[in-house]
Chain A
Amino acid sequence: MTAPVIAYNTFVVAVGVAAVGFAAGVVGSLCVLRKRALVGDAAAHATLVGVACGFLVTGRRDLATLLAAALVSAVAGLGAMVLLRRFTRTRDDAAIAIVIGVSFGLGITLVSGIPAWGYADSAGLEQFLLGHTAALTAADATLLASVACVAAIVVAIGLKEATLVAFDAAFAAASGWPVAVIDYLLVALVAVMVVAGLPAVGAVLVTALVVIPPVAARFWTDRVGTMLLLAGVIGLVAALVGVAVSAMRPGLATGPLVVLAAAAIFGVSFLIAPERGWIARRIRARTLADAWSRGLALDACLRAAGAGDGTFTPVDVEAAVAGDRQGGRRAGAEAFAALVRTAAVAPVAGGRDAWRLTAAGRALAEERRRRLDAWARVIEHDPDDAREALTIDLPAPGAVLGRTGAGS
């Protein structure tokens, strides 16, 4: 009798937690773009007080009651943060640190004290610390999913306003938008998502679900809308992985697994994202440096071609590149090899180690000098639009030869 019921329950819980992961990523994106990433952490740590007080006051431990109480204390924590900032002139980061520390200390004291004070039936409150989805019922999951959907819909409706304030609050205020109200709504949404994430990820780690997916998503896109969706999907996947693994290994708390999954996605994004990723940036830098070395090598060939018998040895060229770049002989050797590959230089017949520029190589070298001259002129005289056209990449030898041939 039990097997299918448990499977159904696990399925519903997974859907609910996935929805929470999605909405947390979406809401968190706005929070990160508004440079308020730590606000969620303050709210999260403040929830524990609410969970404990909710239990003490009502004597109930159903999820809806405890989460409602958690939301109240999260908002209270954020209110305390605002008051600290306004009336004691404490800086943002210090105010957040104070709220995190004090509310967490109070929350832990209450949660760990409750059993000692003789309350029966109080086991399970500490599960809000690190998250434990195994204890969730289908009804709980439905509640969480509903909250997540509402939060995501609110973001979809107010995306224009939130983006405006996040990008340029002064302009928004000057054109009449109530920036403070929009900010408070955003913070309230973050508090709601933090509370919705509590059962799955726990008070200590839930902020990671709000912050990591947006930062990971930013690597892949330059558009706000896409970033929100992507952050949602990343949050969803991370949440699912956490639920699945902790369902298979009941001893493991869900929260850390969710965070680790999100962190793994972040790590992969950081490495392999096409534009902003680390590898792509390294390759771009390397490609540019190589092109520059090739240009230097080509120029050395052109100079040598104009002197003596017009031939040169690879060692001359490598020395010229190495002397300019302090890149050692390797950069010079690679540059020369590239010139050989593209038939910009060719060996002189007769067996000596002597090389000459080909027609294509000469055209390319002269093109490079023309570009550098034009570049110097533009930098000196022209507005920045003209700089748009500048590039230090060299075209392929064939392309230049065709162009100069057509021009003359």
Chain B
Amino acid sequence: MNAAASGPSPASSSARPPLVDFHDVTVAYGRRPVVWNVDFEIDEPCLFGIIGPNGAGKSTLLKAALGLVPTVGGSVRFGGRPLREVRSRVGYVPQRETVDWDFPVNVMDVVLMGTYARLGWFRRPGARERELARASLDRVGLADLADRQIGRLSGGQQQRVFLARALAQEADIYFLDEPMAGVDMRSQEGIFRVLADLRAAGRLVIVVHHDLRTAAEWFDRVALIDMRLVATGPTAAVLTPENLRRTYAGHIEVLEELGRAVAARGRTS
């Protein structure tokens, strides 16, 4: 009912619930916590990066938001509503290594899977779905490879097939889990462009990402995660040396020591 009136309505905009609300999310594997009381909101459509070191729980946080791992506590709400009410509005790009790329399907088959949820039980994709899938492939620059078996794609191409499948979901909120892993720089740029187009079309794009350099370049807002939330907000305001030190504690200290040692040697010589 409210969904229909999604246009700007000044009277209620202040009271409108955030697009995504991570509320005290805690996830544990066994007794070991992986995500600890993470609490933040995303109010506007934007390119949002979830940044942190390996094993920081970034992917787990994303899976918790999608209901793929059980939470110990907390909740994630979308526009004030639980996931099950908005599932068809949420798109997902899993990590590339989670599937068997020797599976006997071609590129078109995989992209069509993005339309399955909307089709529902037992209905097969028709002309409309094929057209949508073709358009999605075109947006990621793979229109020529529609008939290729997925095992004969390079890593970057496989990643873009997953992105095309998510585009075919025609969602409002996209979750991407490490979409740049094992992808060369030029392809990364292509993927980021597609994501920027989604933002321009008013979609919210949430990306688990580990490369700080490209993060600073592309994301509007970020959340720094190291099991707990370190900081969140506009990218430039969050990616400060102090915040990075707190996020990457172990790793960066090593680097700093190395830097100091080099500097000291420079002075003595």
Contacts and interface: CB of A to CB of B under 8 A. Distances in A.
Given A157-B122, A160-B116, A167-B110, A384 B187 contact: yes
Interface residues of A, number: 30
Given A174-B68, A384-B187, A387-B154, A222 B122 contact: no
Contacts of B109: 163, 223-224
A164 B92 CA distance: 14
Nearest to B101: A167
A166 B156 CA distance: 23
A168 B132 CA distance: 20
Contacts of A227: 104
A309 interface: no
A113 interface: no
A162 B187 CA distance: 32
A171 B113 contact: yes
Given A160-B124, A170-B68, A384-B157, A175 B92 contact: yes
Interface in B39-63: 63
A168 B154 contact: no
A186 B104 CA distance: 18
A18 to B, nearest CB: 25
A167 B96 CA distance: 12
A218 interface: yes
Contact of A167 (B113, B157, B185, B187): B113
Contacts of B110: 167
Contacts of A167: 99-100, 103, 105, 110, 113
A175 B169 contact: yes
Interface in B58-86: 63, 66-68, 84
Query: By CB atoms of chain B within 10 A, which of A161, A171, A226, A385 has the most?
Result: A171
A218 B123 CA distance: 26
Contacts of B122: 157-158, 160-161
B121 A171 contact: no
Interface in B112-139: 113, 116-117, 119, 121-124
Nearest to B142: A385
A203 to B, nearest CB: 30
A346 interface: no
Nearest to B118: A175
Given A170-B98, A383-B184, A387-B154, A164 B104 contact: no
B129 to A, nearest CB: 11
B157 A164 contact: no
Contacts of B63: 170
Nearest to A33: B103
Contacts of B113: 164, 167-168, 171
Interface residues of B, number: 42
A383 B187 contact: yes
A1 to B, nearest CB: 50
**Chain A contact surface mostly:** helix
A397 B87 CA distance: 59
Nearest to A225: B104
Given A170-B94, A382-B186, A383-B184, A175 B105 contact: no
B202 interface: no
Interface in A207-237: 218, 221-224, 226-227
A176 interface: yes
A385 B100 CA distance: 22
B184 A221 contact: no
Contact of B104 (A157, A224, A383): A224
Nearest to A167: B103
A382 B117 CA distance: 36
Contacts of B169: 175
A222 B116 contact: no
Given A170-B92, A223-B109, A383-B190, 19 more contacts: A160-B116, A163-B109, A167-B99, A167-B103, A170-B98, A174-B94, A175-B90, A175-B116, A176-B87, A176-B88, A222-B104, A222-B105, A222-B151, A223-B104, A382-B186, A383-B156, A383-B187, A384-B187, A385-B187
30 contacts: A35-B100, A160-B119, A160-B124, A161-B116, A161-B122, A167-B99, A168-B98, A168-B99, A170-B68, A170-B92, A171-B113, A171-B165, A173-B66, A173-B67, A174-B92, A174-B175, A175-B87, A175-B92, A175-B169, A177-B116, A222-B105, A222-B151, A224-B104, A224-B105, A224-B109, A226-B104, A383-B185, A383-B187, A384-B187, A387-B154
Interface of A: 33, 35, 157-158, 160-161, 163-164, 166-168, 170-171, 173-177, 218, 221-224, 226-227, 382-385, 387
